[in-house]
Amino acid sequence: MSNFDTSHVKNIVLLGHAGSGKTTLAECMLFEAAIINRRGSIEEKNTVGDFYELEQERGNSIFSKLLHTQWRGYKINVIDTPGYDDFSGEVLSALRVADTGVMLLNANFGVEVGTDIIWDYTERFKTPMIFAVNKLDQEKADFDKTVLQAKDHFGKNVLVVQYPMNQGLEFDSIIDVLRMTLYKFPPEGGKPQKLPIPDSERERADRLHKELIEAIAENDETLMEKYFDKGELNEDEMKVGLKKAMINHDLFPLFCVSAKKNMGSGRIMGFIDNVCPSANEMRPQMTKSGDTLACDPNGPACIFIYKTISEPHIGEMSFFKVYSGTIKSGMELINESNGVSEKLNQLFVVEGVKRTAVNELSAGDIGATIKLKHTHVNNTLHARGKNYELTPIEFPSPLMSVAIEPAQKGDEEKLSVGLHQVQEEDPTVIVEVSAELRQTIIHCQGELHLSVIKWRLEHISKNLNVKFNKPRIPYRETIRKSVQSNYRHKKQSGGAGQFGEVYMQVEPWYEGMPDPKGFSVRGRDEYKLDWGGKLVFYNCIVGGAIDQRFLPSILKGVMEKMHEGPLTGSYVRDVRVSVYDGKMHPVDSNDISFKIAGLMAFKQAFQQADPQILEPIYTITVLCPDDLTGAIIGDMQTRRAIIEGMDSEGHFTKVTTKVPLAEMDDYSSSLRSITQGRAKFKMEFYQYAPVPFEIQRKLIDEYHKETAEAVA
């Protein structure tokens, strides 16, 4: 395959709500460029993009795919992305390396919730954007309504470049107001006839042409002067103005297409190579240190890893964009994150599942390599002697957590290996082995995401079956009143025995609390606990009742019980312990004796000190259409939520609530069901708060029952 220079490489990402036709459009682009000789279809399960078995079963893209075409002297790298928000990590990684986004709008449904969600991501990257209204060949297609919604959601800078004639089942014509030409397609699609605009459409086409010119001129002073002088801009001038406005994220051209009938894809490809920016025309990349890196094929070599996948019989394949220099096979680069040297033994251009070896890739291009042992997503590799680290992708926080375990005993190692691989390929998956909850927890984006994780695990490791459980809640225990207690540990077993007696006062702790009254304070230690809150430990021993050397053992016993609270086995927090008296034996007293005495004295006091279970409370923010706020608030009220307020955010209503984590187990799937996928939410830890009395009683009873069963 011939090598393309930087100015002749265009990188685009196909975006849109699930079902908007991204994969079908990608298939058209490959066909038009003669990369493939027959267009596949979702129904026939034979598209270049959706080659995973799971995608073919579901009829939707789940993973982003790198494809490439060659069109009129240009190489166009195309990244096809999934449309469900559960796979937002795939969209974000693609946007990180793309230079233009093509947002597909379904003419049957207009602007859908997935479109709004993805648009927020494009705003973050300030990606130049094209809109393409697809499915104009369907009976309920409504181009004008779709355009109105696009302008309403994304601003008046959405510019109509094309509009359809005969939309619906007879769709076969597109009027282009940039070129002032009618494209009429044969029934099977493909190359259209170029015809004059009919008189019946001349007025509308002229009006849209003028609107296009004025919008372009408004964003460029030089073009504005030309427009005032001539009252017109020619096509080349309009293209220059459009490119500049797109780079500045000021104008968003809108095109027409029927991907299924292959009508309009060639014109979009022509616009991509003629107008859309190359990587070297975009703003230079910023490094984490604040420096800039120009996209120069003659500059120092620098690549950014945006995605990895595991290939059977090959190992890990890393996808990257060349941000500077020219990368050649056999080249060694340094990983800025860990200082390790990595050799790029082979370079590939990618067309779905097909990989073609190449000798080099220039700045601005996207490709893949294999067997980088110490390199992961978000890593920067650069020439020796440089210190480039490009800005990493910020992946979304998890929205759902489940406990996972192998269905069969003995498969724990298989599961561990599989989870490591899943996490390596998908940075939005977080795996936590929780010592506190005694569970392995998967944090992910939702129910659909979880089903894909399960499929991946069972395909990575043969004969591995997994099951999901409800994750335990990380409760906390504390007390509400002050209590004194004492405990004598005495054990005689021939020879030296064990003896230790401890008197202590246990009370709730709060910030700024004065020293305990009635005691002679000899020492004070404050411990910030790993799980939140504090333990404050006072030495109030007088007269040498307990030797100083045994106090650390008493503290150790207290801390051990705080790791497994008396009520539910949860961590204990925010208590103050004052050891004020005790007894010891000149022969039998030792560290273990005072550790046990301290533990038991603390346990007794805790159980008498009006103990309280605390539960984690989260702030839940839901963004939804106005007409769904009632249903969302109603559902929240069944979850012991406190509704804090409603506000407007763009085209959504923002509902803010405080909800116990224990009530959020199935919220991701419940919200999708209530809103048909038209809402999204995020959750952040807020605080620990007391559980209601009846729930506390239930939690204690369940813990005692589990403990008794474990002993039995």
User: What is the domain-level CATH number for residue 433?
Assistant: 3.30.70.870
Q: What is the CATH number of the domain that holds 645?
A: 3.30.70.240
As a whole number of angstroms, the distance between CA 61 and CA 54 comes to 9
End residue of a domain, out of 252, 281, 310: 281
Domain annotation covers residue 1? no
404 with 360, same domain?
no
CB-based burial of residue 581 (10 Å sphere; 0-12 exposed, 13-18 middle, 19+ buried)? Answer: middle
As a whole number of angstroms, the distance between CA 53 and CA 317 comes to 19
Average pLDDT over residues 257-280: 94
Report the candidate in 82, 91, 88 with the shortest Cα–Cα distance to residue 55. 82
pLDDT at 289 exceeding the cut of 90? no
pLDDT at 532 exceeding the cut of 70? yes
Q: How confident is the model at residue 293 (pLDDT cuts 50, 70, 90)?
A: very high
pTM, rounded to two decimals:
0.88
pLDDT at 321: 97
84 with 46, same domain?
yes
CA distances 194 to 33, 198, 210, 264, Å, are: 20, 12, 21, 12
Domain annotation covers residue 361? yes
Average pLDDT over residues 638-648: 94
Cross-strand bridge partners of residue 506: 483, 577
Give the DSSP per-residue string, 160-179: ESEEEES-STT--EEEETTT
Which sign, positive or negative, has the C-alpha torsion 502, 508, 512, 517? Answer: negative
Tokens of 619: 């702030």
333 with 350, same domain?
yes
End residue of a domain, out of 609, 635, 658: 609
pLDDT at 1 exceeding the cut of 60? no
Q: What Rg, from alpha-carbon coordinates, does the chain have?
A: 32
Domain annotation covers residue 570? yes
Report the number of distinct structural domains present in the chain: 5
pLDDT at 314: 75
564 with 677, same domain?
no
What size, in residues, is the chain? Answer: 712
Place of tokens 């939690």: 699
**Max CA-CA distance within the chain?**
114
26 with 150, same domain?
yes
553 with 638, same domain?
no
Domain annotation covers residue 507? yes
pLDDT at 582: 96
Which sign, positive or negative, has the C-alpha torsion 592, 595, 601, 605? Answer: negative
338 with 254, same domain?
no
The Cβ-side half-sphere exposure at 611, using a 13 Å CA radius, reads 25
249 with 100, same domain?
yes
Q: How far is CA 63 from the centre of its chain?
A: 13
CB 163 within 8 A of CB 208: yes
As a whole number of angstroms, the distance between CA 122 and CA 111 comes to 15
Report the candidate in 560, 565, 561 with the shortest Cα–Cα distance to residue 477. 565
pLDDT (tens digit per residue) in 66-80: 999 988 889 999 999
101 with 222, same domain?
yes
As a whole number of angstroms, the distance between CA 654 and CA 511 comes to 35
| pLDDT, averaged across the chain | 92
pLDDT at 169 exceeding the cut of 80? yes
pLDDT at 696: 96
Place of tokens 């109030």: 540
pLDDT at 420 exceeding the cut of 70? yes
As a whole number of angstroms, the distance between CA 352 and CA 332 comes to 26
Report the candidate in 97, 88, 65 with the shortest Cα–Cα distance to residue 353. 65
Type and span of the H or E element at 631: helix 629-637
Domain annotation covers residue 712? no
Percent of the chain with pLDDT over 90: 75
Question: Which has more pLDDT, 311 or 28?
Answer: 28
pLDDT at 440 exceeding the cut of 90? yes
Beta strands in 450-533 (DSSP E): 466-469, 476-479, 483-491, 498-508, 523-528
Task: Measure the CA dihedral 458/459/461/467, to 10°.
Answer: -10
Pairing type for strands 534-539 and 575-583 reads: parallel
550 with 689, same domain?
no
CB 35 within 8 A of CB 71: no
Q: What is the CATH number of the domain that holds 327?
A: 2.40.30.10
CB 613 within 8 A of CB 690: yes
Return the ∠ at Cα 489 (arms to 487 and 495), rounded to 5°: 165
pLDDT at 407 exceeding the cut of 80? yes
Helix ranges, 490-611 (H): 551-563, 591-608
336 with 272, same domain?
no
Which sign, positive or negative, has the C-alpha torsion 154, 76, 188, 58? Answer: negative
Average pLDDT over residues 584-588: 89
As a whole number of angstroms, the distance between CA 304 and CA 392 comes to 9
Give the DSSP per-residue string, 414-466: HHHHHHHHHHHH-TT-EEEEETTTTEEEEEES-HHHHHHHHHHHHHHSTT--E
Type and span of the H or E element at 576: strand 575-583
pLDDT at 287: 87
Question: Which has more pLDDT, 308 or 2?
Answer: 308
Average pLDDT over residues 685-704: 95
b/e code 239-256 from CB counts within 10 Å (16+ = b) = bbbbbbbbbeebbbbbbb
As a whole number of angstroms, the distance between CA 42 and CA 49 comes to 10
Quick one: three-class SS letters along 11-44?
A: EEEEECCCCCCHHHHHHHHHHHCCCCCCCCCCCC
Task: Measure the N-to-C terminal CA separation of the chain; round to a whole number of Å.
Answer: 70
Return the ∠ at Cα 119 (arms to 79 and 272), rounded to 5°: 45
Question: Which has more pLDDT, 680 or 496?
Answer: 680
Domain annotation covers residue 170? yes
Q: How confident is the model at residue 3 (pLDDT cuts 50, 70, 90)?
A: confident
As a whole number of angstroms, the distance between CA 645 and CA 657 comes to 7
End residue of a domain, out of 382, 414, 449: 382
b/e code 473-494 from CB counts within 10 Å (16+ = b) = bbbbbbbeeebbbbbebeeeee
Cβ neighbours around 708 below 10 Å, total: 9
Report the candidate in 202, 189, 137 with the shortest Cα–Cα distance to residue 167. 137
Q: How confident is the model at residue 529 (pLDDT cuts 50, 70, 90)?
A: very high
pLDDT (tens digit per residue) in 470-485: 999 999 999 999 999 9
Tokens of 583: 């007894």
Report the candidate in 127, 660, 97 with the shortest Cα–Cα distance to residue 367. 97
575-583, strands of its sheet edge to edge = 483-491, 498-508, 575-583, 534-539, 523-528
pLDDT at 221: 85
Amino acid at 506: V
Which range in 45-49, 574-578, 671-675 is most confidently predicted, on average pLDDT? 574-578
648: domain range? 613-694
pLDDT at 682 exceeding the cut of 60? yes
Domain annotation covers residue 548? yes
Report the candidate in 626, 624, 655 with the shortest Cα–Cα distance to residue 639. 655
Domain annotation covers residue 327? yes
Tell me the Ramachandran region of residue 645: left when phi exceeds 0, alpha when psi lies from -120 to 50, beta otherwise. left
pLDDT at 494 exceeding the cut of 70? no
Q: How confident is the model at residue 232 (pLDDT cuts 50, 70, 90)?
A: confident
pLDDT at 71: 87
Q: What is the CATH number of the domain that holds 56?
A: 3.40.50.300
As a whole number of angstroms, the distance between CA 257 and CA 249 comes to 23
pLDDT at 669: 86
pLDDT at 460 exceeding the cut of 80? no
Backbone angles phi, psi at 551, to 5 degrees: -65, -40
pLDDT at 2: 59
Give the DSSP per-residue string, 362-406: ETT-EEEEE--TT--TT-EEE-TT----BPPP-PPPP-EEEEEEE
158 with 54, same domain?
yes
